[in-house]
Structure formats: C-alpha cells, structure tokens
Amino acid sequence: MKIAMIGTGYVGLVSGVCFAEFGFQVTCVDKNPAIIERLQAGEVTIFEPGLDELLVRNARDGRLVFTTDLATTVSEADVIFIAVGTPSRRGDGEADLQYIHAAADEIAAAMKPDAVVVIKSTVVVGTNADVRERIARARPGVPFSMVSNPEFLREGSAVEDFMRPDRVVVGVHDERGTAAMKRVYRPLYLRETPMIVTTLENAEIIKYAANAFLAMKVTFINEVADLCEKVGGNVQDVARAIGMDNRIGSKFLHAGPGFGGSCFPKDTRAYAATGRKMNAPQTLIEQVVTVNELRKRSMAERVIEAAQKTGAKSVAVLGIAFKPNTDDIRESPALDIIPALQKAGLAVRAHDPEARSVAEPVLPGVIWCKSAYEATDGAGIAVLLTEWNAYRALDLKRVASLMSGNILFDLRNVYSAQDLEGTGLDYRSVGRPLVGKGD
C-alpha cells in the first residue's frame, strides 16, 4: 500500500509520519523546495512534541520520503491524501479552496486507475462531491474513489491525537473507499478505535460542527467568567461543578483571553459563512465569532486601564503562541493585545519558549527577552497570556522584586490565592475574585 500525502503542514506532516509509523510506504509532497530540503535532512519544520523522533526513524527505515514531485508520487500511489491549507477568504470568512482545487487537478492528471483520493484538509460542505466531479471530468472513464477523512488533531498533542483518536471519521461513496480507509487505519482498528463510516457530506459537517461546538463551549465559559467577576463568583469552581455532568464534560471549560489558532477562528468563520450561504444561519456560531474577537480586545483594555491608573509605562507579556507546546501564533490573542498596548503608548517586553522566531517579524517594537524574569524586570505590569509550563511555577516573590509595578494579570488562571500570599502582587485573573492587594 503506497500513500501519497500532499501538503506537509501541521496536518500533512503529522499524518504522513504517523502513517509511516503504521508501516506504510509514505511519500510527502510539498511545493516549497526549502521545506522539502529541510525534511529530507531530517529536520522537522513544525514544533510538535514527539514528531522529530518519528520522522527521523521512519525516514531512516526508508518508509518516509519527501519530494516536490507530485506527478510521479501520485502516479505510483494507491491512496492519495490532500492535506493542503484552506485559509479563510478575506471578507466573508469562507474557506479558500484554491489549493484544494490545484492539488485535485494535478492529482487527476497523474493518478493511476482505482486510486483512492482522500481530502484530509478541513473543507466546506460539498467540497468532496465537487472535487470528485472535477477529477471525473479531467479523467473520464478512469475509476477512482473519493473519501472525506477530516482530522481532529490538536496542535501540541497532534501525534498523540493521531495515534489515539476518539474515533476515525470517513465519508465515502463506494465500498472501495471504505476498504482503503480500513486498511490505512488498521493499526487503530486493531485497538478498537471506532470508525464512523458515513457520507461525504456528513464527514465534512462533522468536522465543522465539532470545532464550532468546542469553540462555543470555550466562549460559553469565557462569558460565565465575566458574570463571575461581577458577582464575586469563581469560574473554576463553576466549571468544575458543571463539568461533572457527563452530558457537559469537564474539558474545554477553562476560561481565558479568547481562543486563537489556525482552526477555531477559521473554522467558526467558515461554518457561519456556510450557514449564511445555504440559508441555514448558524446564529450561535456567528455570535461565538463576534464575542471571541471582542474578548481579545477587552483583555487589552483591562491592562491599559490598569496602566492609566498606576502610571505604568511598560508591560511584560508571558506567552505569545496561541496555546502551549506549539510555535504557532496564528490568531493568538497576543497578536491583538500587544499592538493595542503599544498603541496606548506602553512599552512591551515579551517572552515565549518557542514562538519568538515566528512572532518577531509580525510584532515590531517588542523587546524580546530570554526568560520570564528578564521580561518582568522593570515592567510596571505583567500579563500571563499562554499557559506554558515554564510559567506555572514562577518565583512570584522574585517577579515582584524585579517589577517596577506590582500588577500581575493571569489570563489563564494558572495561579491560586495561596501562590500569591506574601508576594505583594496585585493579582488579577479571569472570572475569579481578586486576591492579593486588589484594586
């Protein structure tokens, strides 16, 4: 069984490496020769825990190859995965399918009869059927199967999520597609991982509905946090208690500064756009998009207001990546909050364990620091924005002694009242009563 993986981004590279780990012969294709050269040299091009060791081992064993030559790769492949980007289109938020269509056209030209073409990228409902027709028009009379196989990988735990998914979802239109998916996911099958075999359209909707629901769940708890702040409640206590109802579940109930990343923002906008286009408006998700954008700005307003009250001139921002264990900064709250602070005349000192190199070019004027302590040194205000482990056990007395002011915004609720005792810090978190000196 030969697998071609078209696209070596977060989804394509993780999927290609993991399929090689399953024992298949995998060839990963990318148009960017610089990326392919780095991968051929055994260098992972994304920060994903555990990926580098798998990549090097499978490449060394000859199961994993990288190339820019799509046509040759596809001509020899039994299963061809499309894992190219589907960015938000400017304006209406719809997914931009140009890269999907370009890949489909090249695949159509090169594929052998009876190939199985699988779209793993997140695509709006109806795309798989459209691509199936597009390929059939390009290669009349040549039998092939179309499959929709969306991924549910979280950045920072993508290898784990691939190897131990809650379920595998495959949308098919024929038995060949089903059989091919059972073969490529056989190692998971043997571990009794459920495989949902459904239609192409259902598989596409499942992906969007899952992400939209998770984004809504996060946004729900973020708004509960706002209420808690007004009435003296504690959002962590509320989240823990409601999460004990197994119909709700405890995950994705951590209040924060708003969601970011390459998926939730893009997928909620695309899903809402599909609802509008198909005259089935997804009004809750429309609201999730709006509330989330406003939340990131309101977090910046809290810091600016504190600076105006105290005369603080500089702010230390700890964490730029949209979540821990990734170098991805796409739509991270930091990208809204830092420019807003700078616009209000505040100097920003920043630290992030992994994301500095990708963030520096897009955050001009930021003073980059080598540690959280260096960042807080002399700062009037400190803001914990991403819950990296590096920030979970800071010596808060040392932080207080380094700072010129004493306000700590913990926008991920990492610390508790006990941690703050004796530090003299004016601690402000999300959805919890103020501890320490307070206003």
Q: Are 68 and 31 within 8 A, CB to CB? A: yes
Return the amino acid letter for 212. Answer: A
Which residues ranging from 123 to 182 are in contact with ligand UDX (CB under 6 A)?
151-155
Piece of 34-42, 98-106, 253-261, 371-379 that binds ligand UDX (CB under 6 A): 253-261
**Burial (Cβ within 10 Å: 0-12, 13-18, ≥19) of residue 76:** middle
CB of 296 to ligand UDX, least distance (A): 10
CA distance 48 to 402: 33
Of 56-64, 191-199, 249-257, 397-405, which part binds ligand UDX (CB under 6 A)?
249-257
Contact 244, 250 (CB under 8 A): yes
Interface with ligand UDX (CB under 6 A), residue from 19, 259, 271, 415: 259
263 catalytically annotated: yes
The least distance separating ligand UDX from the CB of residue 208, rounded to whole angstroms, comes to 11
DSSP-derived secondary structure for 234-295: -HHHHHHHHHTSTTT-STT----S---SSSHHHHHHHHHHHHHHTT---HHHHHHHHHHHHH
In the bound complex, which residue of the shown chain has the CB atom lying closest to ligand UDX?
263
133, 174 Cβ separation under 8 angstroms: no
| 12 vs 82: CA distance, rounded Å | 8
Q: Measured from the CB of residue 211, what is the shortest distance to ligand UDX in angstroms?
A: 6
Q: Which is nearer to ligand UDX, 27 or 222 (CB)?
A: 222
Binding test (CB under 6 A) with ligand UDX, winner from 128, 211, 274, 406: 211
Residues 6+ apart with CB under 8 A from 183: 1
One character per residue 16-45, x = contact with ligand UDX (rule: CB under 6 A): ------------------------------
Nearer to ligand UDX, 296 or 356 (CB): 296
| Residue 380 DSSP one-character state | S
- By the rule CB under 6 A, 218 interacts with ligand UDX: yes
* Half-sphere exposure for 59 (CA within 13 Å, toward CB): 21
CB-based burial label for 187 (10 Å; 0-12, 13-18, 19+)? middle
Among 260, 275, 380, 436, interactor with ligand UDX by CB under 6 A: 260
Sheet holding 115-119, edge to edge: 64-67, 25-29, 2-6, 79-82, 115-119, 144-148, 168-172, 195-198
Minimum separation from the CB atom of position 62 to ligand UDX (A): 30
Segment near ligand UDX (CB under 6 A); pick from 125-133, 140-148, 172-180, 257-265: 257-265
* Listed ranges 36-44, 181-189, 260-268, 338-346: which one lies at the site for ligand UDX (CB under 6 A): 260-268
Structure-block tokens of residue 184: 């490529």
Which three-class secondary structure state does DSSP give residue 436?
A: strand
Residue pair 159/51 in contact (Cβ under 8 Å)? The answer is yes
- Asked whether position 256 contacts ligand UDX by CB under 6 A, the answer is yes
If binding is defined by CB under 6 A, does position 323 make contact with ligand UDX?
yes
Alpha-carbon distance of 181 to 439, in angstroms, equals 58
Minimal distance in Å, beta carbon 222 to ligand UDX? 7
CB 389 within 8 A of CB 354: no
Q: What is the maximum alpha-carbon separation in the chain? A: 77
Nearest to 36 by CA among 69, 60, 84: 69
Closest approach, Cβ 245 to ligand UDX, in A, equals 16
Residue 78 CB, nearest approach to ligand UDX (Å): 25
Task: Provide the minimum distance between the beta carbon of 263 and ligand UDX in the complex, in angstroms, as a whole number.
Answer: 3
Choice among 18, 28, 228, 263 that is catalytic: 263
Strand partners, 315: 348, 381
252 sits near ligand UDX (criterion: CB under 6 A): yes
- The residues pairing with 29 across neighbouring beta strands, listed in sequence order, are 6, 67
Determine, following the binding rule CB under 6 A, whether residue 236 of this chain makes contact with ligand UDX. no
Verify binding: residue 265, ligand UDX, rule CB under 6 A. Answer: no
Cβ proximity to ligand UDX, 132 vs 266, nearer residue? 266
Please give the size of the binding site for ligand UDX, defined by CB under 6 A.
Answer: 19
Of the two residues 31 and 154, which places its CB atom closer to ligand UDX in the complex? Answer: 154
| 52 phi, psi to nearest 5 deg | -60, -45
Using the 8-state DSSP alphabet, how is residue 9 labeled?
Answer: S
Q: Does 319 help bind ligand UDX (rule: CB under 6 A)?
A: no
Among 2, 183, 254, 277, binds ligand UDX (CB under 6 A): 254
Identity of the residue, 130 or 160, whose beta carbon is nearer to ligand UDX in the bound complex: 160
Residues with a known catalytic role: 263
- Residue numbers at the binding site for ligand UDX (CB under 6 A): 151-155, 211, 214, 218, 252-254, 256, 259-261, 263-264, 322-323
